[in-house]
Structure formats: structure tokens, C-alpha cells
Amino acid sequence: MISDPSAGTRLSPLEQSMRARTHSVLAASVVLALAAGPLAAPAFAASPASVAAHTADRPGDGLDREGPDGDALDRDALRAAIAAVPNQHATAALVRVGGTDGGWRGRAGVRDLTSDRPAHPNARFRAGSVTKVVTAATVLRLAAQDRIDLDAPVQDHLPDLFTPDFEEPISVRQLLNHTSGIQPGDGLGDDFAEVYAHRFDTLTPQRVAASAIAKGPEFEPGKQQHYLNINYTILGLLIEKVTGRSYASEATRLVLRPAGMRHTYFPGTDPRIRGPHNRGYQTVEQPDGTVKLVDVTEWNHADRWAAGDMISTMADLERLLTELFEGRIVPQPELEEMFTTPAGLPDATRSAGLQYTKVSGKIFWGKSGSRYGYSALIGGTRDLSRTLVYSVNATDAKSADRNPVIDAITAAALK
């Protein structure tokens, strides 16, 4: 059952043009903590001809198709949305719009700021919190196999993790829909400068979970919806406890492989992106008011784990979306968990792994995600009449401010 999305929630990236924005704006003095010298911000003055040459795949190659009733997509608006990339907001953009209404694929920008090569159309990228879709699907498949009871207290499976402060039982379902009341775990810093200095360090999911539990509950389970990574970190621990195998191996076996996601993987402590990729950059304001870009491509995100540490491709995420919505990964009735918001919370917009918003009278379900240098999204109507997948190398991927490139893409794709 879907609640009315007119009222906001604490974090609503889908309701704000379905994009990922989660952390505070960068402090002006962060450059003082950067050990490696940042790149000077480029002028982004590529000639119109050079940008247009790789702005979008051309009609006639099977990528730009009409729906059964003719043009249902505003292709001019889609091309315009990425035509200015690279700019100060993004260095590259990959977009796929699909569904029975018609399809379009476009790309813009550069592979890196030193060679100025066109963005790679089949690039791998950090998918951020889109990982939660895979984690939720893994849990639901285990539930379909009667290996996990969604109504059972997670404390029964992970008794050594929880302290006596957690007297109220927290169901697996409440972890899936962010109503657990568990507080966020510790990270490697409070601002960009601090986390950048520790970008090659390893913070284990176990330490993150323990730090969260040590804080005690934020609220009684089921009484609020508060979107936090910690819910999916604990789900990752649950998957490992129930199966006796690693989260990565189970998510691959139960979701990635059935969906045909051959180029998606979980990097663990490896800071690199293996295979072709477009480099990610973060805008950093200097003490004198000027702006520079820091290369943030290599980064150990092991602490994000089952909540946000997946590397994927556009084609793979599109397969995930379509295979999932068509019921070929998670069977009924477990699939309904991904399209059901928690009862008794009329403002809640999040379900198991997904979030919904209303656009032009239609309900879109999806998930956005971001890591420094990378913003991604998958989403669509449940009947798959319209789908959207994007990867934008946003230079403000963890900012609270709106990114105009992402706004333009979602506005053009979902109208």
C-alpha cells in the first residue's frame, strides 16, 4: 500500500528529482588537509563541436527508438540536459532512458581532465546506495527460501551485536524499510578533508555496526522512518550469519548472476575501479575563494559495504531494474516488500531497497546513490513504461546543494 508522498521525509533524493544528496557542504578550508595537490579547475571551454561529437548516441544505431505510439520522449530535452558537460557541476554523464514508451541513450563529458578523451560509454562507476537494492533483493530471496523470517527480531540472529539497551525487538523488515531506530555508525571523519586523508584506510562493517549499537536506540522500532546506511550494514551481517558465506558471494549468487550483471562487483578494500572508467573529481573551495578539483577516483569504501560499495555499469543497472521489476529475481509475495511503505507512517516514501515519488501523475520507484566523484540512479514505473538509469561524475556528489546536470536529466527523462 502506497502512502501520499506530498509530505517530506528526512532524506528524499527521489522526491528531489530522484538524485543523491546526503552530506553537508564542503568547508572552505579543506584544502589545508589535502596531502596530494589538487588539480586546478579547468576552464571547461571545449569547443561546441568537440562536445557535440560525444554528447549522445545518434539515432539509427538501435539506441534511440520510439514507443508504440510514436515519440513519447523529449529527446531534444535529453540531449540539452547533458550538452554542456563537462562543466563545473559534472565531468561526465551517461544516461539511459527506456521502457515501452521508447528509449534513448546519451553520453557527454570526458574520461579524465588530463587527456580530455570522450567519456567511456561502458564505464564502470561507483553506484553508491544503489547497492541497497541488491542487498534488499538478497534478503528477500533468502526470505523466499525460508532462511530469513522478515518478522523475526534481528537480535535473535546477531545476539552478540546488540546491547541490553535494545529491549524492543527490531524486525528484519524494519531494517529493510529504515524504521529500526538504530543510530548511524561512526565514519572516518566529519568533513571532506578528514575522510580524504583516510581514503585508503579500512573501517570494517563490524566496527561501524558496533559503534552504532553503542549509541543506543534513536526511537522505538516502527515509529519513524529514518534513512541510514547502518540498516543495510546490519543486513549484510545478517546475510553472512544466515548463509555462512560472505555478503559479496551471496549477493552475486542470488542477484547479480540471475540478473546478468556480468560487470558488477564489490571491491572490498581495493580502492581502484577495475576496468574502463571515467575518473571522479570533487570540487574543493580554497581559502582564497578559488575552486579546485581533487581526483577522488581511488578510494577504499569498505565501511559502506552492503549499504553502498558496489561498482557497476549502465547496462548492468538497467538489467537489475528490469529483471527485478519483472519478478525474475525476487519472487512474489516477497517482491511486494519492495513496493510497500511501512504501515502507520503516512509520510514514509521508502520501502525495502527502493523509494517512490509522483511525477506527472505517475509513480516512479527507484534508488539513487553517491560516492565522492560519482552519482548514480535507477528508477522507473512499476510497469516499466518508463525507466531511467544514469551515472553522472558530479563534482559535488556528497553536497546538500542541487546539481543542475542531474536535475536537467531527471526533468527531461521523467516528464
CATH number at residue 206: 3.40.710.10
Question: What residues contact residue 322 under an 8 Å CB cut-off, 6+ apart?
Answer: 98, 384, 387
Q: What is the mean pLDDT of residues 11-38?
A: 34
User: Is position 17 within any domain?
Assistant: no
Q: What is the mean pLDDT of residues 232-256?
A: 98
> What pTM was computed for the model?
0.87
User: Is position 242 within any domain?
Assistant: yes
User: Is position 236 within any domain?
Assistant: yes
Tell me how many domains the chain contains.
Answer: 1
User: Is position 309 within any domain?
Assistant: yes
Place of cell 516502527: 222
In terms of residue numbers, what domain contains 322? 30-414
User: Is position 224 within any domain?
Assistant: yes
The pLDDT tens digits of the residues spanning 65-119 come to 555 555 578 999 999 999 999 999 999 999 999 998 889 999 999 999 999 899 9
Question: 141: burial class by Cβ within 10 Å (0-12, 13-18, 19+)?
Answer: buried
What's the first-to-final CA gap in the chain, in angstroms? 24
Average pLDDT, the chain: 86
Task: Give pLDDT, residue 22.
Answer: 35
User: Is position 19 within any domain?
Assistant: no
Distance CA 163, CA 410 (A): 43
Do 167 and 193 contact (CB within 8 A), yes or no?
A: no
Q: Flag whether pLDDT at 393 surpasses 70.
A: yes
- Band of residue 28 on the pLDDT scale cut at 50, 70, 90: very low
Question: 69: burial class by Cβ within 10 Å (0-12, 13-18, 19+)?
Answer: exposed
Nearest to 255 by CA among 338, 357, 179, 172: 338
Q: Which helix (H) or strand (E) holds 54?
A: none
User: Is position 108 within any domain?
Assistant: yes
The pLDDT tens digits of the residues spanning 325-342 come to 999 999 999 999 999 999
Return the number of other C-beta atoms located less than 10 Å from residue 362's C-beta: 14
Q: How long is the chain?
A: 415
User: Is position 25 within any domain?
Assistant: no
Task: Give pLDDT, residue 97.
Answer: 97
The pLDDT tens digits of the residues spanning 35-61 come to 334 455 555 544 332 333 334 443 333
Least confident of 70-79, 202-211, 347-356: 70-79
